[in-house]
Structure 1
Amino acid sequence: MATDYGMQTREHRMPAALRAPFEGRTWREFTYLMLSLPISVVLFSFAITLFSLGAGLVITFLGIPVLAAGLAMCRGFGAMERARAKALLRVEVAAPAPVRGRTRGLMPWVGAVLKSGASWRHLVYSLIHFPWAVFAFCVSLTLWAYAWAMFTYPLWQWVFPLYTGTGGIQLYGDTHHSVYLDNPFEITLTSLSGLLLVLATPWVIRGLASVDRLMVAGLLGPSRLDSRVTELESDRGVVVDTAAADLRRIERDLHDGAQARLVALAMDLGLAKEKLTADPEAAARMVDEAHGEVKIALQELRDLARGIHPAVLTDRGLDAALSAVASRCTVPVQVEVDLPARPAAAIEGIAYFTVSELLQNISKHARATRAGVDVWRVDDRIMLQVTDDGRGGADTSAGSGLAGLAERLDAVDGLLVVDSPPGGPTTIIAELPWRD
């Protein structure tokens, strides 16, 4: 185990330029570039043939189904290319939206394929990937072969016999006037040049593979509109789940808090009514206790209403509302709000509840002695920063309150950034869109 650890440490400390020729990434990308040429030949031939055939037969109406079939086959090849990129380039590209209309007959399906932007992007990929694959194949294979041939030249130069009795590869000339790489200096210089090429070739291969990554992601994946629709559908699900959770919380708070207290209050008043004539003093004590219960129930209802949407937020805005929240925190909180105007009510409410939840976390978990809240506007975004000098260690891992808060902000194109090293201090920045 000690030997393995030492080897791993030395390999880790080896400069990246020296590790690159032997890394798995280099060999995977080189394999990808080598496979791209034969695969692109098939894709190009297939795409250009079916496209030409379909375009030529359009006048007979047979060309439209042929063209649609060709586009559908290109989508199938695209799925294969995405799988190859995932295995060798370690890039995962989501599949584009499926073609609609598959179950409604042939012609609706043909129309859906022809109107699908993803289908045409797959065709474009099949056409333009071929010249690029030829270029990348020639450059990478040539560099790879020449680099290792020159680097290992001292090991195999003897296979070229000369009339002088030595061995070396012939650079130029004829039988009588030739120049050979046969003396120690030239052999050493060739090997050193080969070493430089061996070290440089992996980076050239990585550059070529990066272009392939861009082509696969840009042409074989979903469009920006499709991605945006998927994101909005996910955000809508988060909003619905959050609203349902809030309704369950409100129902639970009402049932376990104010409702239970009011039921007990009604029972106490009923008993007091029965004792009013028989034992007026006991009835008076029970009414007095009921009066206290009413006050507590009213306070609980006020707290619940504040949790739904505080009146001070509606009437006076974020500055006053956040100051009220800070006053209830267990540590001193300095609040600074610098906004030129009030944002939309929905954004203002999310900002309020974000800061409120973060301050609750400070009260419960941070063990801090002071905290701060800063709110300001940058261009079309509203920025919230909550800091404390507590023990730190906050994170947005799954299951934590911060994870749920991050999901709520993401549902409205917001962002939550947490910087909380162990031992503190903690800085949490929330970003929301500004909407008037």
Structure 2
Amino acid sequence: MTASSPSSSATETAYDPGYGHGLDDGDRLPPARVAYGRRTWREVAHLLLNLPEGLGGFVYVSLWLYAGIALSVTVVGLPLLAVGLMGARVLGRLERGRARALLGVRIDEPSPLVRHRTEKGFFPWLWATLKDPVAWRSTLYAFIRLPWGVLTFAITLVALFVAWPVLGHLARALTNADRAMVRGLLCPSSELERRVAELEEDRGVVVDTAAADLRRIERDLHDGAQARLVALAMGLGLAKEKLLEDPDAAAKMVDEAHGEVKLALQELRDLARGIHPAVLTDRGLDAALSSVAARCTVPVKVAVDLPARPAPAIEGIAYFTVSELLQNISKHSQARTAEVELWRRDDRLLIQVRDDGRGGASTAGGSGLAGLAERLRSVDGLFEVVSPVGGPTTVTAELPWRNRTAH
């Protein structure tokens, strides 16, 4: 029993912080507090900021939502809702920034508000804003944050003074719930949601383009071939009346009518070529683009390297894209030469048109190139213009291949 006493004493003193320092029980230091890292302190700061953030967001959202719904029967109700939703987007951006700085949550910013590219004015903006899913999710986030902010603020404040040893684990658990809310409600639109918005916009572009083409065809028929045919009918009627009285004059009028017929036929052929040229249907892009290049005022070299023919719709878009680009070269580029290349890469049809003209071409300002870019985007295509001042100009277009079932 006596031999065990020193051993027992040594074991006790090994864990005694005052042993060997001449300190009495009353002079010994209290146990050291747990040291937390910067990550834990950032999480604690986030939890303490939840209350003022939640209160401010709830008050803002409640005010504009209540006022907008109450006044929705008047002319100011819906615009007020739209303005409030724009503010909700700002709140969402601020919350993403706070989560990024304090919680380390990396979330991409959502895409800008989508509306039809060709629609301008107040009502398209109003409709696009009222159906913005990003803004509505930010609104829901602001609503649920107030009770959560009160709860997390109270728990964190109490833990700072009462439950210090478990504060780190508690802060981690609470901020994990915060991370889940941020990811669930403040993340960008899902890929499907983005795609639906893009398809809605592209559908509008296709409808507008088709309507513009129909108006152009109607105008060309009315002002061109139709007017010539009316004049031709009148001329033949007068020639018929003079046939017995003045055969020479009638013959001359018939000869003039024959010339009008030739012009009318040429205009109809040009119109048909503008709708869909027969050579494109019969022989494909190589022959059709060679025909277009022969009519260009600038010498054009055409190189088409396609193992097969793409879908008819893609062929048509590629044909009219190159046709319009060559028209622009003829009218505006002051080029000496131009080149057209088409080739297939994977499931995409690539088009490149180059000229050595003066450059300065751009898709900005509602130009014809902007219309081409819109048309290609409507079928999931790409369009890029590189045209420094002084030239040269290179236009690259890319279209989906979409294999046709028969060649």
Normalised TM-score (structure 2): 0.59
| Separation in 1, partners of 2:399, 2:370 | 16
2:235 maps to which of 268, 273, 284? 268
2:321 maps to which of 354, 367, 373? 354
Residue 252, structure 1, aligned to residue 211, structure 2: no
1:372 maps to which of 305, 319, 339? 339
Residue 84, structure 1, aligned to residue 51, structure 2: no
| Separation in 1, partners of 2:244, 2:303 | 59
Is the contact made by 1:339 and 1:377 (CA closer than 8 Å) also made in structure 2?
Answer: yes
Quickly say closer, same or farther: Cα 1:431–1:38, change in 2 above 3 A. Answer: farther
| Separation in 2, partners of 1:35, 1:317 | 67
Name the % identity. 66
2:377 maps to which of 410, 416, 420? 410
| Separation in 1, partners of 2:44, 2:229 | 78
Query: What's the CA shift string for 1:300-327, capped at 9, x where partnerless?
Result: 0000000000000000000000000000
Q: Give the aligned partner of residue 284 of structure 1.
A: 251
The code of the aligned residue for 2:295 comes to R
Query: What's the CA shift string for 1:5-35, capped at 9, x where partnerless?
Result: xxxxxxxxxxxxxxxxxxxxxxxxxxx9998
The structure whose Rg is larger is 2
Quickly say closer, same or farther: Cα 1:95–1:290, change in 2 above 3 A. Answer: closer
Is the contact made by 2:137 and 2:185 (CA closer than 8 Å) also made in structure 1?
Answer: no
Q: Give the aligned partner of residue 335 of structure 1.
A: 302
| Separation in 1, partners of 2:184, 2:336 | 49
Is the contact made by 2:359 and 2:392 (CA closer than 8 Å) also made in structure 1?
Answer: yes
Deviation at 1:227, TM superposition (A): 1.0
Give the match's secondary structure for 1:227. helix
Deviation at 1:231, TM superposition (A): 0.5
Is the contact made by 1:86 and 1:92 (CA closer than 8 Å) also made in structure 2?
Answer: no
Quickly say closer, same or farther: Cα 1:95–1:321, change in 2 above 3 A. Answer: closer
Residue 235, structure 1, aligned to residue 202, structure 2: yes
Q: Give the aligned partner of residue 322 of structure 1.
A: 289
Is the contact made by 2:236 and 2:257 (CA closer than 8 Å) also made in structure 1?
Answer: yes
The code of the aligned residue for 1:373 comes to V
| Separation in 1, partners of 2:229, 2:44 | 78
| Separation in 1, partners of 2:45, 2:229 | 76
Quickly say closer, same or farther: Cα 1:237–1:95, change in 2 above 3 A. Answer: closer
Give the match's secondary structure for 2:357. coil
The code of the aligned residue for 1:364 comes to K
Give the match's secondary structure for 1:238. helix
Is the contact made by 2:93 and 2:109 (CA closer than 8 Å) also made in structure 1?
Answer: no
Normalised TM-score (structure 1): 0.56
Aligned residues: 271
Quickly say closer, same or farther: Cα 1:364–1:34, change in 2 above 3 A. Answer: farther
| Separation in 2, partners of 1:76, 1:273 | 73
Q: Give the aligned partner of residue 162 of structure 2.
A: none
Query: What's the CA shift string for 1:255-288, capped at 9, x where partnerless?
Result: 1110001111111111101100110000000000
1:311 maps to which of 278, 294, 299? 278
The code of the aligned residue for 2:283 comes to R
Q: Give the aligned partner of residue 422 of structure 1.
A: 389
Deviation at 1:413, TM superposition (A): 0.5
Alignment RMSD:
3.8
Is the contact made by 1:85 and 1:92 (CA closer than 8 Å) also made in structure 2?
Answer: no
Deviation at 1:358, TM superposition (A): 0.2
Structure 1, gaps ≥5 residues long: 1-31, 46-74, 97-116, 135-211
Query: What's the CA shift string for 1:369-419, capped at 9, x where partnerless?
Result: 110000001111110000000110000003100001100000001011000
Deviation at 1:222, TM superposition (A): 1.8
Quickly say closer, same or farther: Cα 1:218–1:346, change in 2 above 3 A. Answer: farther
Deviation at 1:420, TM superposition (A): 0.4
Residue 296, structure 1, aligned to residue 263, structure 2: yes
1:434 maps to which of 387, 401, 406? 401
Query: What's the CA shift string for 1:202-235, capped at 9, x where partnerless?
Result: xxxxxxxxxx9xx679943321111111100000
Quickly say closer, same or farther: Cα 1:86–1:298, change in 2 above 3 A. Answer: farther
Is the contact made by 1:118 and 1:223 (CA closer than 8 Å) also made in structure 2?
Answer: no
Alignment of 1:162-181 (within 5 A): none
